[in-house]
Chain A
Amino acid sequence: MNKIQKPSFNKVHKHSKHDEHQHNCGCTHNHSNEELYGELQEVPAVFSHSTSFELDKEVTGDKLKDCLVDWVESLKLWVSDNKYFIGHIKIFVENKKGFNLWLSTTGKKVNIKASGEYQDNNIKNITINMTAIIFGTDEQTLRLVTLENLNKKLPNHS
């Protein structure tokens, strides 16, 4: 495992840990551990998106999977180039014919799980649900980059 440098997040309020005997922060109540932990903000940007569309022509499950993996890889590259940190990126793709594909990554390998019908499917209509949780950036930038890369990587669609 590689040692990494901690990115600078927007920590709104940071308490150092202390026990009751060393409690001299000036307030009039007792701090529980939960209260202290809760005040340390380790807040990622979260972007969720769901979209349904029709591809211009049918594609195989494998072809669609490759496009989605490319999409996830492009997000991983963007995170790495900017020295951000992936909390989790997860995607669930489905259609009405029982096609299910689940992709997820924490920045290492992209994990892929699929339904039994995945190999044989010729796919034209799909719904993509995704959530990206990234430390170090903001939600607006994350949304922009995620959707821009999705449009680049998917086959022609409307």
Chain B
Amino acid sequence: MNLIIFGGFLGSGKTSVILSMAHFLVESEDSIKSNLVIIENEVGEIGIDDKVLKSDGYSVRELFAGCICCQLTSDLITTLNDINENINPKWVIIETTGLAYPSKILGNINKYGKGIESIKTVTVVDAERWDELSTITPVLVENQVSQGDTILINKIDLVTELELQEVESRVKELNRKASIYKVSANIEVKDCIWEEVTKTCE
């Protein structure tokens, strides 16, 4: 299984981005829907994003009412190992809550996950709220950005060119190793971005 962990703050557009990537994966020549399972983690007791993904026909496993980086760590490992044993898909996408610290999730998966060939972390950044989020939850936002292998700066249609440059520059300061792409998931995420993300997994 190739794991792609999507992190990023609340409302940054993770579900929209995942819908785009899931569509890309199942539309690829050698992929079918059973080759993809999405694990949906939400901090609320009732799932919303899982319903959105299911309404598009995707296979979704839910982990609600807590965060997989802390309260639901063992549930995540159990779910992953169950998926490995019973489905063994080519791709597993994990949508974390917007309050999750990706480094904690990675540590636990590396230690206890079975049948995992590769892990990649994609962090979705909300360009429209960058300034506010950096003020209100600076530690969380900085941690999420610094842990991403790929950073998608989302909602670029909602900011000016100057604002976008400021966000990009700050993201680069926080994470010099990551590949950075600027997207607007509500409009389109180009397939070439997903090709790059998946190429390095396989």
Contacts and interface: CB of A to CB of B under 8 A. Distances in A.
B103 A88 contact: no
B44 A48 contact: yes
B135 A4 contact: yes
Given A108-B128, A131-B42, A38 B135 contact: no
A115 B51 CA distance: 12
A130 B159 contact: no
Given A38-B104, A87-B11, A129 B51 contact: yes
Interface residues of A, number: 41
Interface stretch (B30-38, B79-87, B137-145, B174-182): B137-145
A106 B10 contact: yes
B55 A100 contact: yes
Interface string B174-202: 00000000000010000000000000000
Interface in A93-149: 94, 100, 102, 104-106, 108, 111, 113, 115, 129-131, 133, 135
B40 interface: no
Interface in B103-136: 103-104, 107, 126, 128-132, 135-136
Contacts, number: 103
Contacts of A42: 99, 136-137, 139-140
Contacts of B52: 92, 102, 113
A40 B51 CA distance: 32
Contact of B44 (A2, A94, A102, A133): A133
B135 A3 contact: yes
B140 A34 contact: no
A34 B101 contact: yes
Given A88-B98, A129-B51, A37 B46 contact: no
Given A1-B128, A37-B143, A87-B10, A135 B136 contact: yes
Contact of A48 (B45, B51, B107, B143): B45
Going nearest first, the 6 A-B pairs with the smallest beta carbon separation are A48-B44, A131-B44, A106-B11, A87-B10, A48-B46, A88-B10
